[in-house]
Structure 1
Amino acid sequence: MERENNYENLEMMEAAPQPKGNPTETSVPWRRGAGRIVTAVLLLLTLVALASSLLAVTLLYFRAQSKLQAVEEAVQKLQVSLRPDNALDTSAKESDSLQLLDEALAGVRMLKDQLGHVSAAYGEIQTRLDNVSAAYGEIQTRLDDVSAARAAVQGRCSHVLTKLSRGWRFHGGNLYYFSQEKKPWDEAEQFCVSQDSHLTSVSSQVEQEFLSNESKGESHWIGLTDRGTEGIWRWVDGTEFRADASREFWEENQPDNWHQGTGGREDCVEIRPSKLNLWNDANCTLPSRWICKQAHGQAGL
């Protein structure tokens, strides 16, 4: 079967328009992130309040220690008073000793009560501090995740805007490049690889229609080939080829692997607008326009 179009022998240099400036950053609403920041601030204020309470408990503890020292001094006085200088003042000293002993016992009881309160308050505050610290750590982790996600989205948006400024087109989550010059299939694939992409695969009827509409009446190489094993078709980008699902995209009586007498069979596939934008197998060495695809999506046909 003869090729419908006579291709040009002289290759033209591929000149993709360069961006005239840095791509505009795309702002993304981050209400959830802002809410988490407010929560983190509130938790930080709670930590400050609990730290103040802990300071107050610490001061109470030192006061209790001071009273304990006073009790120790009272006990020392009691010990001194129990050593009589002579028999005459023994009775008086016993009376004073009993009074000092009562004061010491009262001081010990009060000290025990205060230390019990201090211990309970200290334990409660420490528990609250641990809970708040754990919550603060969780919020901080979430904020880090949000920041990383935001950076990733901004990076992707910047990448897409750069590609669009250089003539690529966005459709269905993928980026496509429709060449203006003509190359053999291998050279076309090399160009796509240099742009971090491959000759396009086709994942659905919707994508087929998009590629057909954007071909503008010109035949374009796509990334389908049966090189290696005749009749075993594969997408060059690694997408699985499903023969039954793609049958409707072939021209009538295609593929036919027609020998053109030009040094090879037909092992590469093109979209031909002159034939209702359907697929035709052709000799890979013939020059044609091509379509690159930088994919982010679904399994192919």
Structure 2
Amino acid sequence: MKAVESEVHDAHFTVDKQNISLWPREPPPKTGPYLVLGRCLTVRAAVVLLTLVLVSSALNALGPSPRPADPWFMGTMSDVKTSAQLLQGRVDNISTLSSEIKRNSGGVEAAGVQVRMVNASLDHVRSQIQRLEISVKEADARLQKLTSSWEEVDKLNAQIPELKRDLDKASALNAKVWDLQSGLGNISKMLKQQNDILQMMSQGWKYFRGNVYYFSVMKKTWYSAQQFCVSRESHLTSVTSESEQEFLYKMTDGLIYWIGLTKAGSEWDWHWVDDTPFDKLQSARFWIPGEPNNSENNEHCANIKRSSLRSWNDAPCDIELLFICKRPYVPSEP
């Protein structure tokens, strides 16, 4: 707009030796782009119209002028028309410029809105940056803590070999303690077992390899002897091995004792009364040579008759003899 105003020249000319100016040489003070343009346009248009009216009135008042003055007047009018045309062009230019300024004002306002939006975005970004800076500071503090923690971990790692050695020693000691505890437990069981055995021995029972045996001091028939044993939670003894046979015949010391071997009630097959399986092949080594002979077809029960490995004899079940009861050893309640 300053460029346009600098191109506009003052329209100044003389009518009847009087200086006439279409607008002042100095422009009025600017109060705003749109206000100044509007005022300039209005003032200049008014001055041009007023000048034309004054010129027309002066011509009518003077009447026909002498011919020598016609060329001057025509030149003056030509200058006025030229100035008016220039003025009209400037006015058109100013109008066009005003329209462009009005159109651009919308863009300026839109740009202002965008600037405000950008400023708001920048404020949001700045706040995010501040939060990130705070987070970075917190992360740095945590990193320092972790660094110190890792230093402690390194110290602990350096102590690990020594701790392992101590742990190995503790494990060895623990194993020894377990062994001692196990040994003490076994000793405790043995002592308890010995105590139980001593109590049973005081009642006439003998212990051998997990079983206890009662050697009677009174004589009974085989059936009565079995009932007596049952009343003591036992049965007439069975024999399951050579070692047990040896234990029994040594304890009888040559006296005759009923054992739990019979063939009564079983279709005349020998069997143990406590339901122990009867090993006929093994038991063949324990009979006295020539036994069992079932003399008079009435010898259905067996006894130990001699103090030797081959000591079994069959005899009538209703004769009275000493007898041997047998039951498994069961530890008493603690």
Tell me the TM-score normalised to structure 2 length: 0.44
Which structure is larger by alpha-carbon Rg, 1 or 2? 2
Greater length-normalized contact order (CA 8 Å, ≥ 6 residues apart): 1
